[in-house]
Amino acid sequence: MNVADSEVVRTLLRGDGLREAESAASADVVLLNTCAIREKAEQKVWTRLRDLRGRKGKEGQTVAVLGCMAERVKDDLFRDGLADVVVGPDAYRKLPAMLRDREQSIDVTLDRSENYADVLPTRVEHTAHGAFVSIQRGCDNACSYCIVPYVRGRERSRSVQTILDEVASLYDSGVREITLLGQNVNSYHDATTESLKQQPREYSTGFVPFVKSDKKDSQTGVRFAELLERCAAAAPDARLRFTSPHPKDFPDDVLETIARTPNIAKQIHMPAQSGSDQMLRRMRRGYTCEAYRSLIQRARAVIPDVALSSDFIAGFCGESHEDHLRTLRLIEDVRYDMAFLFAYSSREKTPAARRLEDDVPSDIKKKRLQELIDAFRTGREARSRERVGRIHLILVEGAPRRDRGADLVSGRDDGNRVHVFPSSLPDGTELLPGDFAHVLVDRAEGATLIGVALRRAAGAGDRPLVDAETGAEFFIDEQTGASRWASEPPLVAAASSARPPVATRAFSTRATAGDAIEEILTAATPSAVLGIPKDATGRDARDAFLTASRLVHPDICADARAGAAFAALVEAYDAFAPSDVKYDISQAEFQGDALTTAAWMWDDAAAAARRHKARHTLDDDGSTGRSVM
């Protein structure tokens, strides 16, 4: 939200002849766009202001404080001469004149009609392929902990046409991912524009409109689902996202629109805040945990494979251990792809600050927050592992970086998960930022997915094909016209050969053989390396692999040191793939840097096994090789 606001301010100031300075230290005017949602955010601004007025600022420099903290703290910001100009979120149009006056001045008027619809934001990074478009300002909800309604004012929606114009202009300038922004996007309503649909609005089962207003009861005008669809059509090859909706009045037609529109990301940020009904009531969220869970279920049923994220607050007023456990259970059950977790921070003037007691001690808040973070990470890692062997549509973001023999790029899938893969495609072309590609995931390293790009995609709507029966992804080979499946050995092998740095974190100097073998087996698709198909029956890849290592080192046991385990594994590979690869790694080196060394060994062994694969297939008992060439 603040990024989008800063872009509006940039346009207004440029219009008045101001230009960006090289650095804050050399600028005549420094603007701080602020957040007030938690105390920590405000503390950072106070520190920055003191810095600017101290050694880090320039003599005679004008310092302006903008945004939510300006609105909340008002003229207290003039204290000790820290700020010269204070401007709330609805008064940015006055900013150029206030800066010209060079007088101490403040404008924190909240203006229900201001939505900066006519101000085309100026983006900072011309090379970036993602942009935000603000569709709504303010918030009409009354979540008891939240300062937003007090500092951003009443909810108002921008007109459909100004949004569509901005989306089209971003698209024309090469932007390939657009995120629509608002505090409660699903209550978006432009009553002045005629709907192309005229359908009554329906809420998900278990949900009722929470806040009554004439505007919301009206059935005319354009609602969020329709806006989404029209934006998606205005930027046909770009990926469309939005944030944040509110679970209490989530319309079913939004789910259906996401499901059927190819270039809308299959991802929803669904802020739960708590898993306890008592807390949800105190927070005035307008739904029960059961209704929230059923909305999640419905989202997953309507949009297969949808990525879900959420916000949670730990240690809200009166939160008991049982309430906390309910939140933990919700996080464990849903297994979010992303979550933003906060300790409750009491904000002056909010209903909670006025009527409820902030009675969870700070150390308990921190402990609970850590438990929520741990539960979220466990769920996310499990979900990441489930992505291995699947094909994702990725928007390439980072410029290629040379790393371990390959030019690697990074990008994100629909669920905003980061993928790292070599920039080169099988057709010999290179992927650049702004391109879309189908990427086969080879393995997960924490939250990052490592893989290989299989083909260039035409745009955000060019999705990998999915087999209706099995759910497996595949694509049609452009040259042969044949279907190619993610589990096909050549594709799996391609992913293995494109191996960037191997999973490392599971290994410590105290790692045992059990840890090492387990990690290699899960992280490095040994089936691909040994040429055993993933769906082999009778004897699976894991057994074959373990047998192989035991053949060479029968005394390898679960509590052997990682060094010995690796040595055994390498010898095992050699037994299958006698090769020129030689290792000279001592036990001591493993103690020092088990990870890196193991990664190199694994790569070499994998390469040897691939060479070997051309000459041998594996017998059923997994212990001998047979020449086929």
- Of 149 and 514, which has the nearer Cβ to ligand SF4? 149
Question: Of the ranges 108-116, 223-231, 340-348, 390-398, which one interacts with ligand 5AD (CB under 6 A)?
Answer: 340-348
CB-CB contact of 119 with 109 (8 Å): no
Contacts (Cβ under 8 Å, ≥6 apart) of 258: 228, 264, 265, 266, 268, 302, 303, 306
Q: Tokens 């008064």 — which residue?
A: 91
Determine how β-strand 448-457 pairs with β-strand 418-422: parallel
Least distance to ligand SF4, CB of residue 62, Å: 31
Q: Considering only CA atoms, which of 27, 454, 462, 431 is closest in space to residue 237?
A: 462
Least distance to ligand SF4, CB of residue 247, Å: 10
- Of 185 and 498, which has the nearer Cβ to ligand 5AD? 185
- Residue 344 binds: one of ligand SF4, ligand 5AD, none (C-beta under 5 to 8 A by kind): ligand 5AD
- Of 183 and 309, which has the nearer Cβ to ligand SF4? 183
311 near ligand 5AD (CB under 6 A): yes
- Residue 347 binds: one of ligand SF4, ligand 5AD, none (C-beta under 5 to 8 A by kind): ligand 5AD
- Of 316 and 590, which has the nearer Cβ to ligand SF4? 316
Structure tokens at 299: 């989202």
CA distances from 439 to 298, 335, 389, 451 (A): 28, 23, 10, 6
CA distances from 278 to 207, 244, 282, 327, 364 (A): 17, 23, 6, 11, 19
d(CA 537, CA 542): 12
Least distance to ligand SF4, CB of residue 492, Å: 44
- Residue 313 binds: one of ligand 5AD, ligand SF4, none (C-beta under 5 to 8 A by kind): ligand 5AD
Q: Contacts with ligand 5AD in 124-153 (CB under 6 A)?
A: 145-146
Q: Which residues pair with residue 437 across a beta bridge?
A: 394, 456
Burial annotation 525-559 (CB, 10 A radius, 16+ → b, else e): bbbbbbbbeeebeeeebeebbbebbebbbeebeee
What phi and psi, each to the nearest 5 degrees, are found at residue 537? Answer: -105, 170
- Residue 222 binds: one of ligand 5AD, ligand SF4, none (C-beta under 5 to 8 A by kind): none
Contacts (Cβ under 8 Å, ≥6 apart) of 365: 314, 315, 343, 344
CB-CB contact of 397 with 423 (8 Å): no
Least distance to ligand SF4, CB of residue 406, Å: 43
Determine how β-strand 473-476 pairs with β-strand 483-485: antiparallel
- Of 38 and 154, which has the nearer Cβ to ligand 5AD? 38
Q: Contacts with ligand SF4 in 204-263 (CB under 6 A)?
A: 246
Site string for ligand 5AD, 263-292 (x = CB under 6 A): --------x-x-------------------
Site string for ligand 5AD, 542-581 (x = CB under 6 A): ----------------------------------------
Least distance to ligand 5AD, CB of residue 315, Å: 9
- Of 137 and 380, which has the nearer Cβ to ligand SF4? 137
Exactly one of 122, 345, 416, 579 binds ligand 5AD (CB under 6 A); that residue is 345
CB-CB contact of 67 with 43 (8 Å): no
Q: Contacts with ligand 5AD in 16-55 (CB under 6 A)?
A: 37-38
d(CA 417, CA 244): 18
Site string for ligand SF4, 118-157 (x = CB under 6 A): ---------------------x-x-x--x-xx--------
Least distance to ligand SF4, CB of residue 137, Å: 11
Q: Which residues pair with residue 445 across a beta bridge?
A: 448
DSSP state of 464: P
Q: Contacts with ligand SF4 in 164-203 (CB under 6 A)?
A: 183-184
Least distance to ligand SF4, CB of residue 336, Å: 17
Exactly one of 279, 313, 516, 523 binds ligand 5AD (CB under 6 A); that residue is 313
Q: How many Cα atoms sit within 13 Å of 28 on the Cβ side?
A: 6
Burial annotation 459-474 (CB, 10 A radius, 16+ → b, else e): bbbbbbeeeeeeeebb
Structure tokens at 348: 């002056």
Site size for ligand 5AD (CB under 6 A): 12
Least distance to ligand SF4, CB of residue 148, Å: 4
Name the site residues for ligand 5AD (rule: CB under 6 A): 37-38, 145-146, 271, 273, 311, 313, 342, 344-345, 347
Name the site residues for ligand SF4 (rule: CB under 6 A): 139, 141, 143, 146, 148-149, 183-184, 246
